[in-house]
Structure 1
Amino acid sequence: MDQASASRARPRPGLALLLAAATLVGPLIPAAVAVAPPGPGGRTASELADSDAADAKARAAAARRTGSAWLPYWDDVEAAYQDALQHASQLHTVSPFWYEATSAGVKGHDGAGRRRIINGLHRAGIKVVPTVTETLDADAMGDLTHDPQKRGEHVDALLRMVESRTYDGVDLDYEKMAVTGDKAARERVRTGYNALTSDLCARLHARGKECVVTVLARAWGTGEAYDYAHLGKVADRVRIMGYDLHWSGGESGPLSSKGWYEEFLRYATNTIPKHKIEVAFPGYGWDWVKGTVGGAGHVTWKEAEALRKQEGATYRFDAASGTPHFTYRQADEEHEVWYQDAQGVRAQMPLLKKYGVRGTGLWALGFEDPDSWAALRGE
């Protein structure tokens, strides 16, 4: 999963002219000048040293790229794309949220497969690994993954999508199967998903492509539909969603917490090679009507801060969870907003360091507090 990408060399003006002249009049080197004997590939020792230095520089740059991020298709796509380019030095991968798996195959959302975006990210040294979500619940996914023919057809559809563009792999973000059905259905999903990912990852690797899976955190009773140990063996990277501890359909509260991070990181690092783990941070929040359950509205960090300032609400930071929040009144209802910002990322990043995890993720480009990028670097 190293995401290094060498910059593309541009031909220098006049190079073709010089080569033509050399062909006509012979080598442009005076006879009295000593020339170093060529090394491997016909290169001189000096050229080899320069090449080694360039390779070392590229490897060092690649090591600094420890992050990935999702690019949404429904928001300001151009702003999200420019956000990725601006922070290319931190990003090894961008995953456009472009595709959805159904019982009939894989379909693209509006704007999926934009070559200008794919090519621009590649020029910036960023790999493009599109995300595929699924519409099937636990029962339907259990049936699909345990039927060899249906499973094979599903893998074929995913591979066709990968090969439809210059993609570098695929990210499976199959969540519905993990939050529907009863315990028995989710257990069946777990074993079936193991078979699916084994087949898919093997075929992707045979094509030189990457196999990435995005999973719910295994903590406090969630994420049991995912076999972390198996996914850690077959996938190149396992992205853990470090958000939605409290979500739109539940009670109000922080999207994540230090204690929650502690638990899922302890489990993950005991079952998955640490270099394959990424913890994704949120750049958004939820706006609840206080005292109600469910029905919360989604707000990006930018929207949350604009709302807080508009309403004259006091910024509060919950040190126990490591997340900001505020309240305001509207139409005789009191609202409670919990979200994440750079201060919260700085409060939670030490837990990743404690467990030896360097990989980070961001949901999603264009949503976040701009200072979060420095926080993700540990600054």
Structure 2
Amino acid sequence: MQPASTRGIRRFLRGLLGGCALALASAAQAAPLVLAYTDGQVETSYSNLKAFYRNLSAVGLGSTYGLTVTGQLHQEGMNDTTRQIIAFAKSKSLPLYPTVSDYNQDIAAFDPAISHSIVNSKALSASTIKQLVTLARDNGFAGINLDFEQVEPRNAKAFSAYVKALGQALHAQGRKLIISVPPKLDDQQPEYLQGYDYRALAAAVDYFQLMTYDQVGPGWSSGGFHGEVWPGPGSGLDWQQALLAYAVTRVPAGKLLSGLAAYGQDYSIGNRVHWSAYEEIIAEHNAVTHLDAPSATPYATWGPVNSFTDGVEWTAERAQPVLWYDDAQSIRSKAALVGRLGLGGTSVWAMGYEDASFWSALQAGLAKAPALLPSGRE
């Protein structure tokens, strides 16, 4: 028999180790999730996943799956790139979430008719939920990411009921539901986003991915910021703060993912450009760089820039010599909101657009939050 003093020391050490284990488990549960979307239509999405997967907690399969107005699940975007992404993510035990959207290839836009027909039909609701659960189960996916971006205000209750039923069906199979939701500033504005009842949707899902990007672009200026004119910031810090401040009053902060874009807007061509191309564009035009203080967002100009009001269409005649983009500092500032607000984590659109410097900035921004989960853990 061991001396009493020895037994006491051992009990103390066991208790200490047990306490440390509980503390580590608690920290792991609170660690921010990093959901990175892959864009299956961009080949570098696969190569970047291979290069930077250690920065991720989960992978969203973007630009691949969708539902039709008749309730048919399709995979029109499936290609070799997405197949490689799926195989690699599984090899690294990274949870996979197929993004299932209401995008209609025939009109090249998100289509409100799709959600309207599905959520207002018991038969279509049941059928699509069955198809989505089967998709997740048969492919070994961690769950489903529902990305309906054109839900009409008249369908708010029906959409919430549909999401609740989908969540219950997935949970019964041990799988999760992530919902991607357009951002709004309050319960009333903007009016066209009143199809999204944040509180009801949040109660039904595991993660609530808020699409805090595309604030300003060629032809639009969203959310009452930046004077309702374009060109302007793609996702300003002030704009994000306002959106998230509202969201956390409706969504449990631990479920909320703030969105970061790995692309900017080149208003000389009226289109998106990727993070990895910013330096080349700036050098090509011998541009002068600036910082917009309210949005904490940089921009680069190579001539006088005119502004246009929200809704004025971009045309070649209205092309402007300016690039609005993010740099390491602006990404750090926006990622730091996760820790400041106690959010569940962040999401990135999209892999294949970025390079190593993006992930370094993201990690630095998350540094004040609990340590990033190792890959493959949620």
1:84 paired residue number: 49
Given that residues 147 and 179 in structure 2 are in contact (C-alpha distance below 8 angstroms), is that contact kept between their aligned partners in structure 1?
yes
Spell out, residue by residue over 1:60-95, the C-alpha distance to the aligned partner (whole angstroms, 9 max, x if none): 67765621110001112xx32343344334321101
Q: Is it true that 1:72 corresponds to 2:42 in the alignment?
A: no
Name the aligned partner's letter for residue 264 of structure 1: L
User: CA–CA distance in 2 between the matches of 1:356 and 1:57?
Assistant: 18
> Which moved further from structure 2: 234-243 or 123-132?
123-132
2:135 to 139, 161, 173: 161
Q: What is the CA–CA distance in structure 2 between the aligned matches of 1:84 and 1:59, rounded to whole Å?
A: 28
Shift of the alpha carbon at 1:132? 1.1
Residues 345-367 of structure 1: per-residue CA shift (max 9 Å, x gap): 12223433332224011111121
> What is the number of residues matched between the two proteins?
315
Shift of 1:57: 7.7
* Residues 81-118 of structure 1: per-residue CA shift (max 9 Å, x gap): 34334433432110111212112412111317955432
Aligned to 1:236: 206
Q: Is the 8 A contact 1:85 1:124 kept in 2?
A: no
The answer as to whether partners of 2:255 and 2:344 remain within 8 angstroms in 1 is no
Cα distance in structure 2, aligned partners of 1:215 and 1:111: 26
Q: What residue in structure 1 maps to residue 78 of structure 2?
A: 110
Gap change, CA 1:65 and 1:223, over 3 Å in 2: same
Work out whether 1:127 is the aligned partner of 2:89.
no
Distance 1:354 1:61 in 2: 18
Contact 2:68–2:114 (CA<8 Å) still a contact in 1?
A: no
CA distance in 2 between counterparts of 1:164 and 1:107 reads 15
- 1:171 CA drift (Å): 0.4
Partner of 2:65: 99
1:274 is displaced (CA, Å) by 1.0
Alignment partner of 1:368 out of 326, 351, 354: 354
C-alpha distance in 1, partners of 2:45/2:88? 13
Matches within 5 A, 1:182-261: 186-219=152-185, 221=190, 223-250=193-220, 251-261=230-240
TM-score by length of 2: 0.74
1:262 aligns with 2:230: no
Give aligned-pair identity as a percent: 27
Q: Paired residue for 1:5?
A: none
Aligned to 1:326: 300
Distance across 2 between alignment mates of 1:255 and 1:202: 35
Label 1:65 to 1:359 Cα distance change in 2 as closer, same or farther (>3 A).
closer
- Measure the CA separation in 2 of the matches of 1:301 and 1:170: 28
Aligned to 1:172: 146
Distance change >3 Å, CA 229–CA 88, structure 1 → 2: same
Give distance in 1, aligned partners of 2:344 and 2:141. Answer: 24
Which residue of structure 1 lines up, in the alignment, with residue 324 of structure 2? 338
Q: CA deviation at 1:54?
A: 10
Counterparts of 1:342 and 1:62 in 2: how far apart (Å)? 27
Cα distance change of structure 1 residues 281 and 91 upon mapping to structure 2, 3 Å threshold: same
Tell me, yes or no, if the aligned pair for 2:67 and 2:100 is still in contact at 8 Å.
Answer: yes
Q: Contact between 2:32 and 2:346, CA under 8 Å: does it hold in 1?
A: no
Which of 263, 272, 275 is 2:251 aligned to?
Answer: 272
Larger Rg: 1
For the structure 1 residues 120 and 64, does the alpha-carbon distance in structure 2 shift closer, same or farther, using more than 3 Å as the test? farther
- CA-CA distance at 1:165 after TM superposition: 1.3
Distance 1:354 1:146 in 2: 39
CA distance in 1, matches of 2:288, 2:214: 23
List alignment gaps of at least 5 residues for structure 2: 1-16, 105-109, 221-229, 304-315, 368-378
In structure 1, list runs of 5 or more residues that go unmatched: 1-49, 179-185, 290-294
1:245 and 1:280, CA in 2 relative to 1: closer, same or farther beyond 3 A?
same
State the SS of the aligned residue for 1:266: helix
Cα separation, partners in 2 of 1:209 and 1:111, compared to 1, 3 Å:
same
- Whether contact under 8 Å (1:243, 1:255) holds in the other structure is yes
**Larger RCO of the pair (alpha carbons < 8 Å, separation 6+):** 2
Q: Which amino acid aligns with 1:232?
A: A
How many angstroms apart in 2 are the aligned matches of 1:55 and 1:127?
Answer: 24
Deviation at 1:154, TM superposition (A): 2.0
- SS of the residue 2:353 aligns to: coil
Shift in Å, 1:225: 2.1
Q: Scaled by the length of structure 1, what TM-score is found?
A: 0.74
| 1:282 alignment partner AA | A
Q: What's the offset of the Cα at 1:170?
A: 0.8
Q: Go from structure 1 to structure 2 and tell me whether the alpha carbon gap of 1:120 and 1:60 turns closer, same or farther (over 3 Å shift).
A: farther
What is the CA distance between 1:273 and its match in structure 2?
Answer: 1.1
For 2:238 and 2:320, locate their aligned partners in 1 and report how far apart those are by CA, in whole Å: 28
